[in-house]
Amino acid sequence: MPRPKGSVYDGVACSIDGCPRPARKRGWCLRHYKAWERNGDPVAINDFFLRTPSQRFWGMVAPADANECWLWMGTKTVAGYGMFRRTTAHRFAYEDMIAPIPENLTLDHLCRTRGCVNPYHLDPCPREENARRARAAAAAV
C-alpha cells in the first residue's frame, strides 16, 4: 500500500527550540504556525504556557480599585463562582495573595458578589458559619 502523500517536512521536527511536534508549515508545527498566523509571532503561544498559574489567573480578573469587587472573567459555575485549575477562583486568589486556606474553612464573600475574587472581600470561616451568614443575608433582602 502506498503511504498517503505527506508534506515536504515529513519527519522533521518543528524548528522552534524545544518543540517536539512535527513541522508542517514554514518549518513549524501546526500549533506554532497557527500562533504565527494569529499573532505574527510563532512563539507568542509559548509565552502563554510559560506564564505561571498566578500570572494567568490575574490576567482573567477585571481591573478595579483595591477596595472594589474584582470580577472574574474566566469560566464560572452555574452558581456564579469563578473556576480556576480545579478550584474556585476566589480560593485561588486568596491563597495566592494572602495564605493557604485551612481544610475545614470556606471563604465567605463579605460583599456577597460570587464572581468577586478580591481577597479583602473574603473571610475564611467554618462552613456552618458561612451558611448561617448566607441565610441571614437572604432574610435581610
**Residue 127 dihedral angles phi and psi, to the nearest 5°:** -50, -45
Asked if residue 14 binds Zn ion (CB under 5 A), the reply is yes
Asked if residue 24 binds Zn ion (CB under 5 A), the reply is no
Task: Answer for the pair 9, 23: CB distance below 8 angstroms, yes or no.
Answer: yes
Give the shortest CB-67-to-Zn ion separation in angstroms. 9
Residues of span 62-101 touching Zn ion by CB under 5 A: 69
Q: State how far the Cα of 134 lies from the Cα of 127, in Å rounded to an integer.
A: 11
Of the listed pieces 47-55, 75-83, 96-104, 116-124, which binds Zn ion according to CB under 5 A? 116-124
Q: State how far the Cα of 81 lies from the Cα of 116, in Å rounded to an integer.
A: 8
| Neighbour count for residue 53 (Cβ, 10 Å) | 11
Asked if residue 46 binds Zn ion (CB under 5 A), the reply is no
Q: How many chain residues are in contact with Zn ion, going by CB under 5 A?
A: 12
Which residues lie near Zn ion (CB under 5 A)? 14, 16, 19, 21, 29, 32, 69, 111, 113, 116, 118, 121
